[in-house]
Amino acid sequence: MHSAVISGTGLFQPPYTITNAELVEAFNRYVDLDNARHAADIESGARAPLHHSSVEFIEKASGIQRRYVMEKSGVLDPQRMHPRFAERADDQLSLMAEIAVDAARQALQQAGKTGADVDMVLCAASNMQRAYPAMAIEIQHALGAGGYGFDMNVACSSATFALEQAVNAVRSGSARCVLVVNPEITSAHLEWKDRDCHFIFGDVCTAIVIERADTATAADVWEVQGTRLATQFSNNIRNNFGFMNRSEDSDPQARDKTFRQEGRKVFKEVVPIAAAHIEAHLAQLGHDPAGVRRFWLHQANLGMNQLVLKKLVGEASEDRAPLILNEFANTASAGSIIAFHQHRQDLVAGDLGVICSFGAGYSVGSVVVRKR
């Protein structure tokens, strides 16, 4: 058995930003147009009116202040309310692969590796651009990597679940250097017309290099102490878009074909699951939460992260659990990896940390690491 380490990370940041103020202005214009269009039904009581959003509501509910997106004009068009992407030919690099390659090259450079050193690619994200061929194989080809690749989706826990597959592959000897990429174009599956969730997501891509400890030459290396995954079925976060829709003769524009959630139920149920999971994982490895220098948590909701941390160590602080969702919003599986990417440079050799995600499924994944 080989020891596995994380030797590099990368972050692709989209070119456009949408502030809460911009988002609210567009959403409220959409609400006014929709209410005017259905004025007669609203007047008769046959239809409930839509209600305005506000910057104050968004920040109080989530802690989010802005988000990055791949395309801005379509999202802010009250007649459209979703991104505009140009369809690409089959012989062009797809959009998800393009941003994954960008993040991957950063991670490989940090690790002191090239695409030729990689013998396994995992593309792990909450949605894939297509059914096949696998995004991972297209990314593998674009980078000049060898070995094999495949896609996997466990919604917001996709990255941590992929990390366990990567670590196990390195430990068993089936791969020497694994690249995990998390291209999250969440703007394409967010329901921008729904007041309860129109502010939640942002676009991004992260990348992580996992390799054998004896081949790692990077200046910043993290030993993987252990990984732990768990799932528990719930419909409280769901998206019914899929290849069966056509055969079911269902409406492709129906509300259930984009992201939807029962937010209060998710908050109430997921927080104790995540905290108990982390505590049990640390105990399994002989650690106490108090001994963890930093928690890089899933970035969905400020209050959720604060409560998880309070359950673990008794108090919440940004030094102990850095926040990136105020700038990036919820980036699905990439959130905890962004936090790890941006907030580990001040730690010293021997410091212990936990990368943890939680979300739809329900799913929760944790990776315990120690700085070498």
Strands (E), the chain: 4-12, 16-19, 66-69, 120-124, 148-152, 177-184, 204-212, 222-231, 237-238, 260-261, 294-297, 352-359, 363-371
* C-alpha–C-alpha distance, residues 318 and 325, integer Å: 12
* C-alpha–C-alpha distance, residues 5 and 369, integer Å: 8
4 is written with which tokens? Answer: 């596995």
- Is residue 224 within 8 Å of residue 167, measured between CB atoms? yes
172 is written with which tokens? Answer: 């068993």
The residues facing 148 across adjacent strands are 120
C-alpha pair distances (Å), 186 with each of 259, 310, 329:
9, 29, 10
Q: Is 156 annotated as catalytic? A: yes
* Count of alpha carbons within 13 angstroms of residue 338, beta-carbon side: 27
Task: Specify the DSSP class assigned to residue 236.
Answer: S
Marked catalytic residue, from 123, 156, 177, 205? 156
What is the set of active-site residues? 156
